Structures are given as C-alpha cells and as structure tokens.
Amino acid sequence: MLLVPADRLPVSAHDRHGALREYFCDKDAIAERAGDAWRLKLYWPGDLDRHVDPKLPLGLEWWDRQLSLDRMALSYRRSGKILTALYDTWTLHSWSEWLARGGAVDDVVVLHVDDHRDLAPPRLIADERGLWDAITSNMVEIARPDQVRSAIESGAIGMGSFLTPFLHAFPRTEVRHLGQAPKITGATDYAMRMTLEEDSLLHPGSPRPSIGLDVKELGTGPGVYRATSSLDEWLCGIGDRPCLLHIDMDYFNNRYDGDSSWQTRLERLDPPLDDVLLRIGELTGALNRALRRGQIEDVVIAYSPGFFPAEFWEASDSLLRQGLEALDG
C-alpha cells in the first residue's frame, strides 16, 4: 500500500482516475480515502476492455492458454539470444542480463523497431545514490537483472519508459529508431539530452530521469537518436559495432495503439496480415544484408497486447524467427 497526502490528487473521482492512469501508466490504481491521505493499491489490469483488443484471447491461446490477463505484463520466455515477451518492458531486463554477462556498451547501437519512442520518464528517482524505485524505494542498477526485474514488477519501469534509464546509464549509446507512417516519415536525427523531470505524486520535486531530443543536421554517432521510415537509413554506417535489437510488433501494425476509441481514429497503422508478413521479410532481409553473423548480441520481440492485433501473433512469430536465425553467430 502507498499513502499520499490528500492534496496531491484531484477531489473529482474522474480527474483522480485520470491522474493515476497518467502517473502509473501500465498499472491501475485504486485510491481510498484514509483521513488526510489517499491509500493507493496498485494492480495489473485484468479486464478485457482495458486491453482494447477484442481478439486478445485468440493470441493468448497461442502464447499460453493458462495465462490470465492480469499476468500478461510479467510473462516472457527466452530461447538463446532471443527474449520474447508480451510487454516490451522486458527489453531492459534482457539488456541488463547482457550487461551482467560482460556486454560492452562503449560503442553499442540500439536498433529500436517500434511505433513509439519509449523515452518517457520511468517512476525512478535519480539522486546521489543512483536510481531507486519510487514505488518500493529499492535501488535499481541497470547492470543488475534482479533489481531491474523488481522495478518492472513494481511498475516503476514501464512499456513507454524502458529506454530512458538505459540511455542515462550509457549516454553514448546510438539509437536507430525504425518506424512507419503516420508517426514517422522520412529521417530525422536528434542529439539526445539526459535531463531530469520532477516527480509529481509519490516524491514531489524529486528528479526522475528523462530524455530531451534536439533536432540536428543529419549524421549519426554516439548520443544520436535517428528516427526513420527507411530501412537503408536505419542501418547505414553501423559498420562492425555491436547491436541490441528490440522489435515491438506494433511497428508492423498498431491498429489499437492502446486506445479504446481506436475505431474512430482517422489515421492508424493497420495493414492486413499479408502486408505485415511482407514487411517482416523486408526487415529481416535488410538486417541479414547489413550486419554480420553474431553482430546482434541480444534480441527482444514484444507482442504488445492492445497495440499489435492478437490474431497476427502466431503467423508473425514463425516468420520473424526464421528471418532472425541467420543473424545468430
């Protein structure tokens, strides 16, 4: 249970619900009045409506027919270099395991395949001790998989914020973000700024890590974030540098985008399965042409319930794995 002073949350139940959703993101929170404070109970949502995709049970039948909706956020599996999860938050845990095995970050390139940047501030506090979990107060060192796992399970690190603490720990990382229209068209390069944002609820005024992006002249390198819709611009000039590959399947189709009003959106990334499979082949083909065997040191594939359509999971997984096999050294 978390206790926060009453004046930190709106009086209106509707506004309070919105504020809690915005703060905790992936987790839901129930607020109960306790004198001059609010008592907060956090939980992983288990309501199908909360997860938007009406065909989600079809995807879970393939993934794990025993898995309940409120356990999806914690479900993942590993096969060699490839970690597959439902929530892409586990990307940071996979990278933490890579670091613990001796992964070198001096010249690493993150290949970020996604319909989102995932650069939001996590619910971590940054001070002279390092990073610590704003929910549990536990320390979080990025090269400690047990600590990263704990922060994911608490909800301190979420789907939209897992890149931020990694980049703060290793600011010379180069990020290559491959996206599609309508969110990304053409190519834009940014200089990344490691910034801090004040916490607004659990530890007001305390600094949380965040990322600023400043448009720069085209040119890649350490500390640069390239966003592009072109496979050639995504992979050009990487050379022999080690790569970490993160694939959020909503890059291929983001029909729902976590939005219960998805049907009324005028612009959405919603190609049919045949187009998704074609794009998967193009992606893996480009990787195999541009990179040597073994150059990708870690791979995470995330299926993103409520974003990527569940009825596409099985067919996409089979083709994607086939295409990635040749990259394994």
- State the average pLDDT for the chain: 96
Predicted confidence at residue 289, as pLDDT, reads 95
236 in the same domain as 174: yes
196 in the same domain as 78: yes
Q: What's the pLDDT tens digit per position in 54-83?
A: 999 999 999 999 999 999 999 999 999 999
Q: What residue numbers bound the domain in which 8 lies?
A: 1-43
Phi, psi angle pair for 123, to nearest 5°: -85, 60
22 in the same domain as 134: no
Q: How many CA atoms lie within 13 A of 263 on its CB side?
A: 4
* Confidence band for 1, pLDDT divided at 50, 70 and 90: confident
pLDDT reading at 178 higher than 70: yes
Residues 6 or more apart whose Cβ sits within 8 Å of residue 214: 190, 191, 193
pLDDT reading at 329 higher than 80: no
Predicted confidence at residue 77, as pLDDT, reads 96
Predicted confidence at residue 48, as pLDDT, reads 85
206 in the same domain as 274: yes
67 in the same domain as 27: no
Between strands 37-43 and 2-5, the pairing is antiparallel
20 in the same domain as 83: no
Q: pTM (2 decimals)?
A: 0.96
Residues 6 or more apart whose Cβ sits within 8 Å of residue 302: 84, 85, 86, 87, 88, 90, 91, 246, 247, 248, 249
157 in the same domain as 104: yes
227 in the same domain as 261: yes
Predicted confidence at residue 328, as pLDDT, reads 78
- Over range 225-237, report the average pLDDT: 98
- Over range 312-325, report the average pLDDT: 94
317 in the same domain as 236: yes
Q: What's the pLDDT tens digit per position in 82-121?
A: 999 999 999 999 999 999 999 988 899 999 999 999 999 9
Q: How far is CA 2 from the centre of its chain?
A: 25
Specify the number of domains making up the chain. Answer: 2
Q: What's the pLDDT tens digit per position in 270-285?
A: 999 999 999 999 999 9
Q: What's the pLDDT tens digit per position in 136-147?
A: 999 999 999 999
77 in the same domain as 36: no
Phi, psi angle pair for 169, to nearest 5°: -70, -30
125 in the same domain as 18: no
55 in the same domain as 5: no
